[in-house]
Amino acid sequence: MAGFGAVSHGGGAGDAVLGFPSPGLSPVPGAEALELRLAAGRGLCEGRVEVKLRGQWGTVADNAWDMEDAEVVCQQMGCGSATSTYRDPLFGQAKGSISLALVDCNGDEKALWDCKIQGWGPYHGSHDYDTAVVCQGFSRLAGGDGACSGRLEVRQGRAWATVCHGHVDLKAAQVVCRELGCGTAVAVPAAGHFGAATGPLWDGAFECNGSEPLLASCARRPTHGQACAGPAAIVCSRYTGFRLADGGSGCAGRVEVEAQGTWGALCASAWDLRDAHVLCRHLGCGPAASLPPGGHFGTGKATGPLRRDALSCSGSERHPGECPVALLGEPACPPGHAAAVNCSGAAEPLQLLDGESRCDGRLEVATSPGAWARVAAGPGDDRAASVACRQLGCGVPEKVYAVPAASSGPVELQELRCAGSEELLAQCNASGPAAAPGHSPPEVAVACSGSRRLRLAGGPGRCAGRVEVYSEGMWGTVCQDAWDLPDADVVCRQLGCGRALEAPGSERFGPGVGTLWPGAGGCSGTEAALWACPAPARRGCRRGGGAGAVCSGLLRLAGGSSSCSGHLEVLREGTWGHVCANDTSPATAAVVCRQLGCGSGGRLVAVPAQGSVPAWLGSVRCQEGAPSLWRCPSAPWYLQSCGPKGVAHIACDEDTEDTSGATSTAGASSSSSVAPLTAVSGSVPVPTVLCVLLGTLLGLALAALAVQAHRARLQRRGGPTDVGAEAVYEELDYSLMPEYQEVPSHTGSLSEGSGMKLQDDSWDGDKEESNPREAPAPPAQPGHGPSDGYDDAAAVPEEPPAPHGGDAPAQPCGDTGYDDVDMGTLGTAP
C-alpha cells in the first residue's frame, strides 16, 4: 500500500492458548516476523496504525490510545516523536481484521509489541476504536524560507539536534527532500549558510544510496571526533526539472517546469531577465540573450492553466530551484502567455566553485566540453579576477586569495596573465607547463561583489536577530557604533521581513563572531540593500559588532490571546490587512501555524470583521503540506471588504519551536516568513539564582537561631541538649527538601483510562480467540528485537544570547524561568 513504511521484528514459533501467547514465546504461531506500518496517510510518518499478524495486515484497536503509545510507534518507524493521536477514522474507515487490541505502553519501548497487549488477534469486529498517529518526522530543515530549505536537524529523543556540514552529501539531501515532500535537492551549500546551530549537535554522519524512504533508514558512521565546521544546509525544490521547448534547440524556447511528475509551462507575468539568466546557465546555455514576449513559442500540449509561480532570482543562484517562489496573490495567467527565453547558447567557459553562490569560490576554466582545469595562484590574479567577475555577471572582485589545492593531480593552467580590460577570460594569456606529478600548488579563489548576502542570526526567527553580512568570502557582523532604525529598516525590507521595529545592539542577540563588516551605519532607510548605504566615516569600532534588527514580518496573527492565535493578517505595501474567510481552505491554518513556529496544526474559523482594517486577500487555497503561505494560490492582491462571511481567524497549537537564521540573496526576496518574536530561552536568569541563594542562606540562618533557642530552652529545663539538637536537625532536613511534582516521562495526556470502555461483545476472534477483556492474566510479550539506537547526539552546550534588559522581567523567587511544555496541546484528540 502506498504511503506507508514497514518495520520488521523477528519472532519464533510458539503455541497460542485462547489467542494469547504462551510465556516467552511468539504470540503468532508459525509467523516469521511482525511488521508495523502507518497506512492511508500523506506520507511515511502519519496514518492508521497497522500490524501484520499471520501474514495479513490488521489495525490496532484501543479505547484509551494515548501519546505514550503513539510515541513508541513513531520512534519505531524512525519518524521522531508523536505530535498527535487519533481514535477516529481520520485516515478513512479500515476494512479487514484487527491485529492487536488494548495496548498500554510506557513510551520507551523499542517496538509496539514490547508494550502490554491484552488482545492478540486477528479479530473480526467493529473498527470504531482503530488508532492512528501523526509523527513529527525524523528530519527537518530550519531557518530557511519555508520548510524546504534550511539547516538540517534530526530528532534525538524529544529534542532537535543539528547535523554538521560534511556529515551529509547530495544523496542524503535527496532523501531528506523526498521525506519532507519538498521535491528534489538542488544544493548543499557551505557550512552555516542558514545560520548557526541552536541546540545540540548530532554525533554521527549519514551514508545514503539515495533511494531510502527516510533519512532514519540510511546507514550511519561515527565521526571519530571530527570537528564540526558548522550546520549542514540543504536547499530543496519542488521543481524536479526545467527545459526549454519548441525553440529549435535546447537553449531557446518556452519555459517549462516539472513538479510532482507533471510538466507545465510557466506564466510570463513575473518572468524577468534575472530569472532567465539563472535558468540559461543551469541548462549549460550561458547567460540569457533576450526575453521574447509571452507566448512567443506557443503553449505546447499542456491542457491545464499556465503555472502562476513567480520566481524572484537574484541572478547569483546556481540553480533556479534556489530562487524564492511566490504564488500568493498572483493573478490568473492570460491564456497562451507562456514565458520564453533565448539563451546565448554558449556555455560559460569558467566557473567559481565551493562558495556561497556562483559568484564566489575557486576559479576553474573549461579546456574542452565537460573538462575543467584549475588555475594556480599567481601575481596577476587580481586582473584575472576582474575579468572573471565581469564575464560571470557578478560585479567586481571584493577579494582574491589563494586556497589549498582541492585535489591531487596536475594543474593545467599554472598562471593567467590578463590586462584586466578583457571581456573574456579566454583572451588572457595562459603560461606555464603543468605542475610536476605529486605537486599541487595553491589555487586562486575569488569573491565577487555579487556574492554578498544578508541574514539575521541568533534570534527567535528569521526576521529578528544579529545582522550578519557575507562579504569577501566570509560571514561577518556589523559594527553597532552608528547603527540606528533606518539601517535596520533597510535590512528588514531587503530580507522581505516588513518594517523595522527596533535596532538593538549586541546586548540583545550577542556580539557574534567573525570579522566586522565596516559598510553600515549610514543608511537613510530608502536604500534597496544594506551595501548600497553610504559607509560612515569612522576610525575603528569602539563598541564592537552585534548590531541587530527586529522586523515586523509579513505575516501575523493579531488580536488574539497570544502570537499563535488571532486574525490572519499580511503586510503589503506597508499596510497590514486581513485575509477574507470566503473560500479559504481549512488547510491554510496548519500552513500558517507551521510558518509562525506555532505547532503543526490549527483551526480556521470565520469571524465578523471589526474596526476599519481592510483585507488584502481572499480565497487562499493552501493544500496539506504546503511549505509556506506564499506558495498557496489565492485571489489577486487588492484592498477589499470581506463581506458577511467575515475574516479568517486561526488558533494554532502554540507549540512554538525556534527556526532562525534565514538568508537573503543580494536581491530582495518577496517570499519570506516570520516567526513570532518570543523570548529566547536560555540559561537560568541571574535574579532567579540570587533568589535561590538568598532564600537558602535565610533558611540556614533561621534554622541556626531555632537550634540555639531550643538548646537554651532545654538548658533552662535541665534536659539533655543533644536530643533536642537532633530533633531540630531532622525537622530542618525535611523542611529544606524541595517539593517535586512528578511529571510523566512523555508529554501527552495526563489522564488514564479516558474514553468509553470497549464492549465485550464487539469482538469475534478467529477460531478460538477469546475476548481480550476476558483474559485471566496478561500475556507474555514477543521477543525484543535489536535496538535501532537513534540517540546518537552529543549535547554541545551553547551560551545563549543575553536577553534585552527591558524585554524580560526578573523572575520572582520560586519561578525558574523555564518555558514549560504546554501539555494541553499534546493531548489525545477527542
So what's the pLDDT on residue 537?
Answer: 67
pLDDT of residue 514: 77
pLDDT of res. 363: 92
Q: Where are the alpha helices (DSSP H) in 544-685?
A: 587-595
In this prediction, residue 713 carries a pLDDT of 52
pLDDT for residue 122 is more than 70: yes
User: pLDDT of 47-92, one tens digit each?
Assistant: 899 999 888 899 999 988 999 999 999 988 888 888 888 766 678 7
Three cell numbers written together for 261 = 511528475
The Cα–Cα gap between 261 and 665 comes to 29
> Buried (b) or exposed (e) across 24-55, using 16+ Cβ within 10 A?
ebbbbeebeebebbbbbbebbbbbbbbbbbee
pLDDT band at residue 681 using 50, 70 and 90 as cut-offs: very low
Q: Is the pLDDT of residue 733 over 90?
A: no
pLDDT (0 to 100) of residue 411? 54
SS3 content of the chain, % helix, strand, coil (to 5): 15, 30, 50
* Closest alpha carbon to 7 in 36, 31, 45: 36
Digit-coded pLDDT (tens) for 351-372: 998 888 899 999 988 877 777 8
544 within 8 A of 504, measured Cβ to Cβ: no
Residues whose CB is less than 8 angstroms from the CB of residue 567 and which lie 6 or more positions away in sequence, other chains included = 557, 558, 559, 560, 578, 607, 647, 648, 649
**Predicted pLDDT of residue 666:** 42
Spatial contact of 651 and 123, defined as CB atoms under 8 Å apart: no
Task: Give the list of residues 6+ apart from residue 712 with CB closer than 8 angstroms, or none.
Answer: none
The answer for residues whose C-beta is within 8 angstroms of residue 248's C-beta and 6 or more apart is: none
DSSP category for residue 297: T
CB neighbour list of residue 378: distance below 8 Å, 6 or more residues apart: 414, 415, 416, 444
- Whether residue 772 is predicted with pLDDT greater than 60 in this model: the reply is no
pLDDT digits over 457-515, tens only? Answer: 888 778 889 999 998 888 889 988 889 999 999 999 999 889 999 999 999 998 887 78
Check: CB of residue 236 under 8 Å from CB of residue 184.
yes
The pLDDT of 259-273, averaged and rounded, is 91
> Percent of the chain scored above 90 by pLDDT?
31
For 450-491, give the DSSP string.
GG-EEEEEEEEETTEEEEEEEETTEEEEEB-SS--HHHHHHH
CB 202 within 8 A of CB 792: yes
Taking the C-alpha atoms of residue 307 and residue 299, their distance in angstroms, rounded to an integer, is 12
Cα–Cα dist 424/412, whole Å? 19
Higher pLDDT residue, 209 or 441? Answer: 209
As a whole number of angstroms, the distance between CA 801 and CA 804 comes to 9
Measure the CA–CA gap between 739 and 102, rounded to whole angstroms.
35
pLDDT of residue 538: 62
Residues 6+ apart with CB under 8 A from 177: 148, 183, 184, 185, 234, 236, 237
Largest Cα–Cα distance in the chain? 115
Instruction: Return the amino acid letter for 243.
Output: R
Nearest-5° Cα angle at 185, 182 to 189: 120
What pLDDT does residue 610 have? 78
pLDDT at 46 over 90: no
The amino acid sitting at 747 is T
pLDDT of residue 355: 85
Burial class (CB in 10 A: 0-12, 13-18, 19+), 15: exposed
What is the C-alpha to C-alpha distance for residues 702 and 708, in angstroms, rounded to an integer?
Answer: 10
First to last CA, the chain: 28
Nearest-angstrom CA–CA distance, 420 and 440: 26
pLDDT the model gives residue 544: 86
The closest alpha carbon to 521, from 550, 495, 497, 549, belongs to 549
704-732 residue pLDDT tens: 666 566 555 544 444 443 333 332 222 22
Phi first, then psi, for residue 343 (nearest 5°) are: -85, 160
Residue 648 DSSP SS3: strand
> Do the beta carbons of residue 133 and residue 86 sit within 8 Å?
yes
Burial annotation 339-375 (CB, 10 A radius, 16+ → b, else e): bbbbbbeebbbbbbeebbbbbbbbbbbbeeeeeebbb
- For residue 423, give the DSSP letter: S
Residue 817 clears pLDDT 50, i.e. is over it: no
pLDDT at 678: 35
pTM: 0.66
Buried b (16+ CB within 10 A) or exposed e, 679-710: ebeeeebebbeebeeeeeeeeeeebeeebeeb
Better pLDDT: 767 or 232: 232
3-state secondary structure 617-641: ECCCCCCCCCCCHHHCCCCCCCCEC
What per-residue confidence (pLDDT) applies to 305?
A: 76
Checking if the pLDDT of 745 tops 60, the result is no
Cα separation, 510 vs 494, whole angstroms: 22
Q: What is the pLDDT of residue 229?
A: 83
Alpha helices in 81-125 (DSSP H): none
Helix (H) or strand (E) holding 414: none
Looking at residue 340, its pLDDT comes to 96
Tell me the C-alpha distance between 348 and 335, whole Å. Answer: 35
| Contact criterion met (CB below 8 Å) for 478 and 523 | no
| Alpha carbon separation from 15 to 24, 745, 765, 774 (Å, rounded) | 10, 35, 17, 19
pLDDT value of residue 294? 93
Residue of 525, 584, 568, 571 lying closest to 549 (CA atoms): 525
Return the residue matching grid coordinates 504511503.
3
**Residues 290, 295, 298, 302: what is their CA dihedral angle, to the nearest 10 degrees?**
120
Lowest mean pLDDT among 361-370, 380-389, 594-603, 726-735: 726-735
Using one digit for the tens of pLDDT, what is the confidence trace for 336-354?
Answer: 999 999 999 888 889 998 8
pLDDT digits (tens, 9 = 90+) for 213-250: 889 889 988 877 778 888 999 999 988 899 999 998 88
The whole-number pLDDT of residue 220 equals 87
E-state strands within 73-210: 82-86, 97-104, 116-125, 132-135, 139-143, 149-156, 159-162, 184-187, 205-207
> How confident is the model over 119-136, as a mean pLDDT?
87
Nearest CA to 810 out of 687, 678, 683, 680 is that of 687
Q: For position 417, what pLDDT does the model report?
A: 85
Residue 739 has pLDDT above 50, yes or no: no
Kindly tell me if the per-residue pLDDT of 665 is higher than 70.
no
* Residue with the larger pLDDT of the pair 690 and 397: 397
- 584 pLDDT above the threshold of 90: yes
Q: Is the pLDDT of residue 142 over 90?
A: no
The confidence score (pLDDT) of residue 313 equals 92
pLDDT band at 269 (very low <50, low <70, confident <90, very high): very high
What value does the mean pLDDT take over residues 731-735?
28
- Please say whether the beta carbons of 438 and 419 come within 8 A: no
- CA nearest 569: which of 494, 621, 620? 620
Contact 548, 466 (CB under 8 A): yes
Task: Name the H helices within 24-97.
Answer: 67-76
Q: Output b/e per residue, 191-220; b: 16+ Cβ within 10 A.
A: ebbbbbbbbbbbbbbbebeeebbbbbbbeb
Q: CA-to-CA distance for 84 and 64, rounded, in angstroms? A: 14
Q: b/e per residue, 59-87, with b = 16+ CB within 10 A?
A: bbbbbbbbbbbbbbbbbbbbbbbbbbbbb
The cell for 303 is: 491542457
Residue pLDDT, tens place only, 171-203: 999 999 988 888 899 988 888 788 778 788 988
SS3 at position 403: strand
Which residues are bridge partners to 470 per DSSP?
A: 453, 475
Among 191-205, 301-315, 675-689, the minimum mean pLDDT is found in: 675-689
Compute the mean pLDDT over every residue in the chain, rounded to the nearest whole number. 75
pLDDT at residue 2 greater than cutoff 70: no
Residue 332 has pLDDT above 80, yes or no: yes
